[in-house]
Amino acid sequence: MDKDKFLDANSSEYDLQWEQFKLKETINIINEEILKGISKRKTLVNEILNYRKKFIEDYKDDEDQVIEYFDHERYVQEESFKTIDRKLKELNTLKYSPYFGRITFEDKEFKDVEKYYIGRFGVTPEGYDEPLIIDWRAPVASLFYAGTLGEHYYSAPGGKIEVDLQGRRQYIIKKGDLQGFFDSDVDVKDEILQMVLSSNSSDKLKDIVMTIQKEQDEIIRNERLSITVVNGVAGSGKTTIALHRIAYLLYNYRNQLEDKTLILGPNSIFMEYIASVLPSLGEGNSVKQRTFREFAMQFIEDDKEILPFTYEIEQVLKGDEEFLKEIKYKGSESFLTDLDRLIDDLNKNYFKVESLLFNNKVLVDKEEILSMFNKDFKNMPLFRRSAKIKRILFNKIRYRRDDIFREIEAKYKKIKEEMPKDKLVIEENNINFRRKIEIRNLLREVLNAKDSLRYLDGEKVELIYNRFNNNKILLNDDLGAILYLKINLQGLKVKEELKHVVIDEAQDYSILQFMVIKNLTGCSSFTIVGDVNQRLIKKDIESPMMNLNKVFPKDSIKMFSLNKSYRSTKEIMEYANKFITGDNIVPLVRNGDKVYEEEVNSIDDLVVNIKNTLEDMEEEGLESLAVICRNKDQINKIAPILKEKINIKVLDNEDIIYRGGNVLIPSYFAKGLEFDGVIIVDEEESKGEDLVKYVMCTRALHRLYYYKMNFK
């Protein structure tokens, strides 16, 4: 977009001069705040060092005091530096682009007209009564995303504030330079949205704050204690919305959520891809990030081989019917029912209860133990129940041991007291020996009684599941099943405290996995995002993420649908729509080149075409480019020759870190990622629905090429 034309069309000369002055003044104030922050940090360091020196001199002979001081000082130091460093990082980000919007509104109660500038972070300089910049996550900033001017409200801690929204101005500021602004009275102007969406993928993720749409903002600001479920088409911004929701929740509920938020992503490549977004929102170090497999493996004690995800998906893509049948079964409610039957059977029949004997006499009879199992502690998980009952029985053994020991002591004390002194001199050693023998026999009975209760220990849950699973190699779906048994048999819970969980690519999760995550974490606050059209392993049932009533209270679930794609051009989305059934995706009207298709008859021709196409896209200024194949077999066919011709990285293992540039990647690792340009290489003929092809197409922002391999 032409900068001068943009300014002239949307602003008067006075407005332009005022906004340039305002920007310069704001940047100057931010720079002053940065210098003050650096000075504060330096002062803090000097104070800590001086006090430390004095304290060590005063308590140099008291090691415990010194250790206690350093433990406390480390905490204070970390907290003080954390606050200062956070603010300095925010200020250093803002000095290049302090704000992206401005709102003007009248408070209906007080009739005051307010004008606020909205930025990525908030700034209130020392001595200022009003903020210089409002953080986009602040309640009043929601007015910027309201969609229309006129009557609105925002939710403040004291309740709803009724306002008349009179103006909304949007800015494009790059490196401290005002490149454009205009007043918007309906919604985010197409010019701004087109400007951001037309940029390359690395910039787009970080610029989303200024282009959040009303329906996206509603999701981001949805109440904290809810199950927020988003089914969004490819390119609708699901992942970005989820990350901004985390930033919003941490801003407004930092004390409750800091270091207690977890993101579950599909694979390590995807997690690395989004890793730069949270730091750009100021929340990089306060959010835990794991794949479901990593999350599950911390609780599983088994050396048994677990098939890698790549093997599973490759077998499915190859059309292995037996394997697909197994996958479908373990993602079904029938599998969950079978696990519940197993748990019920274990509860009824696992422990063969016997009376507890001591000295060949019944200490606790069988009926009393059964009553503890079936009545007293019935609501406890089976193995926790057995452990508690075992502790109770151990106590009964101890009480009986103590009673007998006292009897033995009293018996031999009486013998000594009644025996004449002259005879006691002769017999004392013998008496003591007999006493020790009886005590030794007592201890032997104690050990025998305790040993008879070993059956209450149970066995490792992993062994129980392996028998149930006919000792087959474990799949990823088996991890959820093992955890489900551990929850119901052991009462397993996560050790770390978690208050909010984000699940991305949730369309691939089974009802069992949702149950496991909910029960392990104990969370009542979730953000669950996915696209039911992107299930690479399509099962016979509706994606469980669309019906979570069996997992969460119905009234806590808030469903959102996003049908508009902001990622790809109109031409790319219309092409992708051919490979799905049902409602088509509505693309934002951003036109581009038509999708190019060609059939190639040899691998040499294919490599030449890929090389030329990549070079053409690079010349156009596109940065992140991907060659996407359906599966690893196709990658193995072309990778050796392609790598001889061009510099391209093969991402065929989820442990490989994606840092941008040209990549050769299978469809299942590309899911969730986006690239400026995409080349699809496939040998499968798509007839009707083809969700794999849909996923491959919707990775492209600006250019899409399809080369059909017509050779073996």
DSSP 201-260: HHHHTTTGGGG--HHHHHHHTS-SSSEEEEEE-TTS-HHHHHHHHHHHHHHHSHHHHTT-
CA distances from 710 to 576, 602, 628, 682 (A): 21, 7, 17, 9
Give the per-residue pLDDT at 194: 55
Query: Whole-prediction pTM value?
Result: 0.84
Stretch 95-99: mean pLDDT, rounded?
93
Separation between Cα atoms, residue 598 and residue 615, nearest integer Å: 17
Stretch 435-442: mean pLDDT, rounded?
94
Strand-pair partners of 246: none
First-residue to last-residue Cα distance in the chain: 47
Tens of pLDDT, residues 474-519: 998 899 999 999 999 999 999 889 999 999 999 999 999 999 999 9
- Strand-strand pairing, 557-562 and 649-650: unpaired
Looking at per-residue pLDDT, the higher value among 190 and 59 belongs to 59
Give the per-residue pLDDT at 79: 61
Looking at per-residue pLDDT, the higher value among 102 and 425 belongs to 102
CA distances from 409 to 406, 415, 431, 432, 620 (A): 5, 10, 11, 10, 97
Which of 75-79, 602-606, 670-674 shows the lowest mean pLDDT across its residues? 75-79
Q: Evaluate if residue 4 carries a pLDDT over 50.
A: no
Give the per-residue pLDDT at 404: 94
Confidence of residue 567 (pLDDT cuts 50, 70, 90): confident
Q: Please tell me whether residue 314 adopts helix, strand or coil conformation.
A: helix
Confidence of residue 127 (pLDDT cuts 50, 70, 90): confident
Stretch 305-319: mean pLDDT, rounded?
85
For 291, residues 6+ apart whose C-beta sits below 8 A from its C-beta are 264, 265, 266, 267, 268, 271, 654
Looking at per-residue pLDDT, the higher value among 573 and 85 belongs to 573
Token representation of residue 232: 């969004």
Give the per-residue pLDDT at 687: 67
Stretch 639-653: mean pLDDT, rounded?
89
Q: Evaluate if residue 539 carries a pLDDT over 80.
A: no
Q: Give Cα 670 distance to the centre of its chain.
A: 18
> Burial, 73: exposed, middle or buried (Cβ in 10 Å; 0-12, 13-18, 19+)?
middle
- Using only C-alpha atoms, what is the Rg of the chain? 34
Token representation of residue 614: 């990549």
Separation between Cα atoms, residue 589 and residue 569, nearest integer Å: 7
Separation between Cα atoms, residue 538 and residue 392, nearest integer Å: 50
Give the per-residue pLDDT at 430: 92
Separation between Cα atoms, residue 241 and residue 263, nearest integer Å: 13
469 DSSP 8-state letter: T
Give the per-residue pLDDT at 583: 63
Q: What is the DSSP string of 119-175?
A: ESS-B--TT-SS-SBEETTSGGGGGGGSSSSEEEEEEETTEEEEEEEEEEEEEEEET
> Mean of the per-residue pLDDT values for the chain?
86
3-state secondary structure 337-396: HHHHHHHHHHHHHCCCCCCEEECCEEEECHHHHHHHHHHHCCCCCHHHHHHHHHHHHHHH
Give the per-residue pLDDT at 585: 66
Q: Please tell me whether residue 453 adopts helix, strand or coil conformation.
A: coil
Residues 366-396, buried b or exposed e (16+ Cβ, 10 A)? Answer: eebbeebbeeebeeebbbebbbebbeebbeb
Long-range contacts of 576-582 (CB under 8 A, 24+ apart): 576/234, 576/694, 576/697, 576/698, 578/686, 579/686, 579/689, 579/690, 579/691, 579/693, 579/694, 579/697, 580/533, 580/689, 580/691, 580/694, 581/688, 581/689, 582/533
Stretch 383-412: mean pLDDT, rounded?
95
Separation between Cα atoms, residue 661 and residue 469, nearest integer Å: 43
Token representation of residue 45: 């360091």
Token representation of residue 84: 């200062």
Separation between Cα atoms, residue 681 and residue 683, nearest integer Å: 7
Looking at per-residue pLDDT, the higher value among 458 and 192 belongs to 458
Please give the share of the chain, as a percent, with pLDDT higher than 70.
88
- Strand-strand pairing, 356-358 and 361-364: antiparallel
Separation between Cα atoms, residue 485 and residue 479, nearest integer Å: 10
Please give the backbone phi and psi of residue 415, each rounded to the nearest 5 degrees, phi first: -60, -45
Separation between Cα atoms, residue 479 and residue 512, nearest integer Å: 10
Q: Evaluate if residue 659 carries a pLDDT over 80.
A: no
Looking at per-residue pLDDT, the higher value among 704 and 653 belongs to 704
Give the per-residue pLDDT at 658: 72
Q: Evaluate if residue 213 carries a pLDDT over 90.
A: no
Tens of pLDDT, residues 186-210: 444 455 555 555 555 555 445 567 7
Token representation of residue 287: 């959010």
Give the per-residue pLDDT at 2: 42
Q: CA angle 265-271-274, nearest 5°?
A: 110
Give the per-residue pLDDT at 7: 46
Separation between Cα atoms, residue 133 and residue 129, nearest integer Å: 12
Which of 24-28, 649-653, 695-699 shows the lowest mean pLDDT across its residues? 649-653
Separation between Cα atoms, residue 293 and residue 270, nearest integer Å: 14
Stretch 425-450: mean pLDDT, rounded?
93
Q: Given the structure tokens 């005063």, which residue do they identify?
A: 58
Please give the share of the chain, as a percent, with pLDDT higher than 90.
54
Strands annotated E in 632-673: 649-650, 662-666
Q: Evaluate if residue 693 carries a pLDDT over 80.
A: yes
Q: Please tell me whether residue 181 adopts helix, strand or coil conformation.
A: strand
Give the per-residue pLDDT at 545: 94
Q: What is the DSSP string of 482-546?
A: HHHHHHHHH----SS--SEEEESSGGG--HHHHHHHHHHH--S-EEEEE-GGG-SS--SS--GGG
The arrangement of strands across the sheet holding 625-629 comes to: 596-600, 700-709, 675-682, 625-629, 662-666, 649-650
Separation between Cα atoms, residue 482 and residue 495, nearest integer Å: 18
Give the per-residue pLDDT at 34: 93
> Burial, 89: exposed, middle or buried (Cβ in 10 Å; 0-12, 13-18, 19+)?
middle
Q: Evaluate if residue 525 carries a pLDDT over 60.
A: yes
Q: Evaluate if residue 108 carries a pLDDT over 60.
A: yes
Looking at per-residue pLDDT, the higher value among 682 and 286 belongs to 682
Cβ contact 690:653 at 8 Å? no
Tens of pLDDT, residues 344-378: 999 999 999 999 999 899 999 999 999 999 999 99
